[in-house]
Amino acid sequence: MEKREQLYEGKAKKVYATDDPELVIVDYKDDATAGNGAKKGTIRGKGVVNNKVTNSLMKMLEENGVPTHFVEQLSDRETVVKKVSIVPLEVIVRNVAAGSFTARLGVAEGTRFASPTLEYSYKDDALGDPLINSYHAIALGAATREELDTINAYAFKVNEVLKAYLAKFNIDLIDFKLEFGRLPGGQIVLADEISPDTCRFWDASTGAHLDKDLFRRDLGGEEDAYREVLKRLLGE
Ligand code: C5P
């Protein structure tokens, strides 16, 4: 596998072409942003944690029937994934009220829902990733009804599998964001990352944040929290 030119640089990752047109290499950075880029900083070691945590969770999900883009980890920060065309939706699943849900709907943080919720944001930095419904997603051409049905089913499956898995490590899965992609044949697979950047992880005993909220809210301790997630999940 040969690493070729950089195709893209995002807020937290770079993507490189390879000599195989169906594969790309993701390179995880320590750069951290919040509030759609309004707050910028660094969380030392974050790239390594997010790479390793994402890969181990993707493998676990694949074994549990959720197809993903994961192919092979190359190094501490680099992973080979299948090249996909990203569905321009952030798919957010929530078990407990937190973050924008509490702000928008006036529900106290920590309120546990009887059943999980699902919402979409339209991926558009200029618009600030606005909340949309499934009719909007179809009208915008982001996905078809059939694709949304598949995405919803995978998102709830990820929630069930991941929630049970993380509970074994004394981590409470509060909410998370997923992104999906289309393979050349049109099949929908789970893409992007599943990490303390994209999930709210609370210690199941103390409720302590083990995720990016420490950075977003200037609470401090984010480097230790990311390391703690890696230690619990991978023993490293
Ligand atoms: O901010 P909000 O409460 O809507 O976030 C819900 C979940 O989605 C959180 O776990 C957060 O980490 C994740 N998220 C994300 N990227 C965004 C927005 C939210 O990973 N751009």
Question: How many C-beta atoms surround the C-beta of residue 116 within 10 A?
Answer: 16
Question: How far lies 223's CA from each of 46, 104, 230, in Å?
Answer: 7, 29, 11
Residue 17 has pLDDT above 90, yes or no: yes
- The β-bridge partners of 176 are 93, 199
Residue 66, helix vs strand vs coil: coil
202, 217 contact by CB (below 8 A):
no
State the pLDDT at residue 236: 94
What is the rounded CA–CA span in Å between residue 132 and residue 90? 10
The residue whose CB lies within 8 Å of the most ligand 1 atoms, and thus the one to mutate among 96, 175, 180, 209, is: 175
Three-state DSSP state, 78: strand
Query: How high is the pLDDT of residue 124?
Result: 97
What is the rounded average pLDDT for all residues in the chain?
Answer: 98
Interval 180-217: pLDDT, tens: 999 999 999 999 999 999 999 999 999 999 999 999 99
Q: What's the mean pLDDT in 67-82? A: 98
108-130 confidence digits (pLDDT tens):
999 999 999 999 999 999 999 99
199 lines ligand 1 (CB under 6 A): yes
Mean pLDDT value of segment 40-58: 98
Provide the H-helix boundaries in the chain: 46-63, 99-105, 134-139, 145-167, 213-216, 222-234
Buried-state track 180-203, b at ≥16 Cβ within 10 A, e below 16 = bbbbeeeebbbbbbbbbbbbbbbb
**Contact in structure between 23 and 1 (CB atoms under 8 Å):** yes
Q: What is the pLDDT of residue 105?
A: 98
In the predicted structure, residue 5 carries a pLDDT above the cut 90: yes
Count CB atoms within 10 A of the CB of residue 235.
6
Question: Quick one: which atom of ligand 1 is closest to the CA of 176?
Answer: 10
| Euclidean distance between CA atoms 133 and 53, whole angstroms | 30
Residue 37 has pLDDT above 90, yes or no: no
Q: What is the identity of the amino acid at 208?
A: A
pLDDT reported for residue 155: 99
Collapsing DSSP to helix, strand or coil, 32 comes out as: strand
Q: How far apart, in whole angstroms, are the C-alpha atoms of residue 208 and residue 200?
A: 10
Ligand 1 atom nearest 102 alpha carbon: 3
- Whether residue 215 has its Cβ less than 6 Å from ligand 1: no
Number of Cβ within a 10 Å radius of residue 19? 9
pLDDT at res. 1: 85
The answer to whether the CB of 177 is under 6 A from ligand 1 is yes
Instruction: Kindly report whether the global pTM for this prediction surpasses the value 0.90.
Output: yes
Does residue 101 have its Cβ closer than 6 Å to ligand 1?
yes
Q: What is the mean pLDDT of residues 125-150?
A: 97
Cα(168) to centroid of ligand 1, in Å? 23
**Whose CA is closest to 171, among 103, 104, 96, 71?**
96
Does the ipTM surpass 0.90? yes
Atom of ligand 1 lying closest to residue 101 CA = 3
Compute the distance from residue 198 Cα to the ligand 1 centre, in Å: 6
